[in-house]
């Protein structure tokens, strides 16, 4: 009891921490805290409902629905998750809009991988307009703007993303990179201004390169050019100066090569960084699709289970149809509580249906109605593979063989040997299958005249 109380206490403590972070728009931090809360207590309704709200606030509607459906399954009455689900389901237009926004976002990732940033930017604008809380769309569009040097637009989008989630790592990293790009741009402008001279002429401002002022000293320049000409002439006559000039030119060329190499290296580094960012987005997109598929499967399983529970409690509902509904549920996606409810229903329904179907198969088998026998026993095997200590498997194997479905018959035969290696049913199955094997071997070894 002390251990259980401690787990509940820790779960509530992490819930309070997640609530504080959600109130200050620290959604990423809130997700981490609430997930820890659910690790200590999976049945913490408040944590699960708040986690759904945080996902919804970041534009991740499908993830929010999964949390609320699980919460509803844990406690169906007096649960605010019912209200959230109802509100989302009432607005089918909103659900369709969110679905289209996610599809367009994934297409934009494809465009970016194909150097189609312009198309991606156009689509992302539509995505943000239709789904204003889609955090990843803001981040990707800001990255495209940064790559195309549209820093003002990128800054605006980053601020909006920061308002949606104040501690998101990707958003903070982009803010840092954008600040650095602004500093580099300011330094470049300062250098360019230092190389120009501006002055006012009436109501106009004239901007000229610094070297233009030399035109005012035309006479001095003329004399200087003459002197330089004489010096150059003397240098040409003195061939000893030629090697020194070549050496100077070589040194200058080497310096330029070094400068150009550094610029190329910087550009390659920046390109590599941007490529890694795009690859990361592609990986996140694939993970998002996988998570969405898992969430969709979980949602469908819980909805099917809820429907089955309603039919189970409904008087006069066909047990055969209820058994089919239970067989269609993906048990692996159910939680512990849901699995318990599922097992309780199947224990009763499957027992009754197995008995009924086996009796029908037993009636059909002696009169050689193998089609009906197979139809009944396939359901029996799905519900209880070892029904009647392997007799159901044996009858199904014989029916498959009689219907010329040898591959299926062989599969059932191998399963009987695996489950009942030392039982009479295995010996009986071996004796039945042996003539077929002997006939097959005799046909392959018979000599031809």
Please tell me the predicted confidence (pLDDT) of residue 215: 47
Please tell me the predicted confidence (pLDDT) of residue 366: 93
User: Can you give the CATH number for the domain in which 432 is found?
Assistant: 1.25.40
Residue 415 lies in a domain: yes
Same domain as 115, residue 143 = yes
Same domain as 328, residue 373 = yes
Q: Collapse the DSSP code of 356 into the 3-class scheme (helix H, G, I; strand E, B; otherwise coil) and give the result.
A: helix
Residue 107 lies in a domain: yes
**How many domains does the chain fold into?**
4
Same domain as 332, residue 422 = yes
Distance CA 387, CA 382 (A): 10
Please tell me the predicted confidence (pLDDT) of residue 118: 83
Residue 8 lies in a domain: yes
Distance CA 61, CA 282 (A): 20
Q: Which two tokens stand for residue 288?
A: 């998002």
Distance CA 29, CA 449 (A): 83
User: Can you give the CATH number for the domain in which 61 is found?
Assistant: 1.25.40.10
Same domain as 120, residue 53 = no
Choosing from 231, 265, 299, the residue where a domain stops is: 265
Q: For residue 114, how many other CB atoms are within 10 A of its CB?
A: 10
Tell me the residue range of the domain where 364 lies. Answer: 324-437
Asked if 146 and 154 touch (Cβ cutoff 8 Å), the reply is yes
Same domain as 200, residue 159 = no
Same domain as 406, residue 384 = yes
Q: Which two tokens stand for residue 292?
A: 């969405």
Choosing from 194, 227, 246, the residue where a domain stops is: 194
Extract the residue ranges of the chain whose pLDDT is less than 50: 212, 214-215, 442-449
Same domain as 145, residue 239 = no
Residue 139 lies in a domain: yes
pLDDT digits (tens, 9 = 90+) for 313-346: 888 888 889 888 888 888 888 888 888 888 888 8
Choosing from 55, 90, 125, the residue where a domain stops is: 90
Same domain as 200, residue 253 = yes
Q: Collapse the DSSP code of 422 into the 3-class scheme (helix H, G, I; strand E, B; otherwise coil) and give the result.
A: coil
Same domain as 189, residue 109 = yes
Same domain as 433, residue 335 = yes
Residue 396 lies in a domain: yes
Q: Collapse the DSSP code of 108 into the 3-class scheme (helix H, G, I; strand E, B; otherwise coil) and give the result.
A: helix
Burial of 327 (0-12, 13-18, 19+ CB in 10 A): middle
Q: Collapse the DSSP code of 196 into the 3-class scheme (helix H, G, I; strand E, B; otherwise coil) and give the result.
A: strand
Same domain as 200, residue 178 = no
Residue 144 lies in a domain: yes
Residue 413 lies in a domain: yes
Same domain as 127, residue 110 = yes
Residue 282 lies in a domain: no
């Amino acid at each position: 009891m002390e251990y259980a109380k401690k787990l509940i206490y820790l779960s509530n403590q992490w819930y309070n921490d997640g609530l504080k972070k959600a109130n200050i728009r620290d959604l990423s931090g809130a997700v981490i805290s609430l997930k820890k809360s659910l690790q200590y207590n999976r049945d913490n309704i408040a944590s699960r409902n708040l986690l759904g709200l945080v996902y919804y606030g970041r534009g991740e509607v499908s993830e929010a629905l999964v949390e609320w459906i699980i919460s509803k399954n844990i406690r169906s009455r007096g649960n605010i998750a019912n209200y959230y689900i109802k509100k989302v389901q009432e607005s089918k237009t909103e659900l369709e809009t969110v679905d289209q926004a996610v599809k367009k976002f994934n297409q934009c990732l494809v465009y970016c991988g194909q150097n189609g940033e312009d198309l991606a930017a156009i689509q992302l604008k539509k995505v943000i307009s239709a789904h204003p809380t889609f955090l990843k769309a803001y981040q990707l569009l800001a990255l495209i703007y940064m790559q195309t040097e549209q820093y003002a637009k990128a800054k605006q989008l980053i601020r909006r993303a920061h308002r949606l989630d104040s501690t998101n790592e990707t958003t903070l990293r982009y803010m840092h990179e954008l600040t650095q790009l602004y500093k580099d741009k300011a330094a470049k402008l300062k250098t360019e201004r230092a190389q120009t001279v501006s002055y006012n002429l009436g109501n106009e401002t004239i901007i000229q390169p610094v070297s233009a002022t030399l035109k005012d000293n035309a006479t001095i320049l003329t004399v200087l050019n003459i002197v330089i000409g004489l010096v150059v002439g003397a240098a040409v006559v003195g061939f000893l100066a030629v090697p020194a000039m070549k050496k100077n030119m070589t040194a200058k060329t080497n310096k330029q090569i070094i400068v150009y190499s550094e610029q190329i290296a910087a550009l390659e580094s920046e390109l590599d960084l941007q490529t890694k960012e795009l690859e990361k987005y592609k990986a996140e997109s694939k993970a998002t699709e996988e998570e969405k598929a898992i969430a969709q499967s979980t949602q469908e399983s819980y909805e099917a289970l809820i429907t089955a529970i309603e039919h189970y409690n409904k008087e006069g509902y066909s047990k055969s149809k209820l058994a089919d509904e239970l067989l269609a549920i993906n048990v692996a996606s159910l939680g512990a509580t849901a699995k318990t409810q599922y097992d309780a229903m199947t224990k009763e329904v499957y027992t009754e249906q197995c008995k009924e179907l086996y009796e029908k198969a037993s009636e059909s088998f002696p009169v050689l109605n193998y089609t009906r026998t197979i139809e009944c026993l396939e359901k029996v095997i799905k519900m209880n593979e070892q029904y009647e200590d392997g007799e159901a498997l044996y009858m199904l194997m014989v029916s498959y063989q009689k219907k010329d479905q040898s591959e299926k018959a062989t599969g059932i035969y191998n399963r009987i040997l695996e489950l009942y290696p030392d039982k009479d049913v295995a010996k009986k199955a071996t004796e039945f299958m042996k003539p077929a094997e002997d006939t097959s071997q005799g046909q392959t070894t018979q000599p031809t005249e």
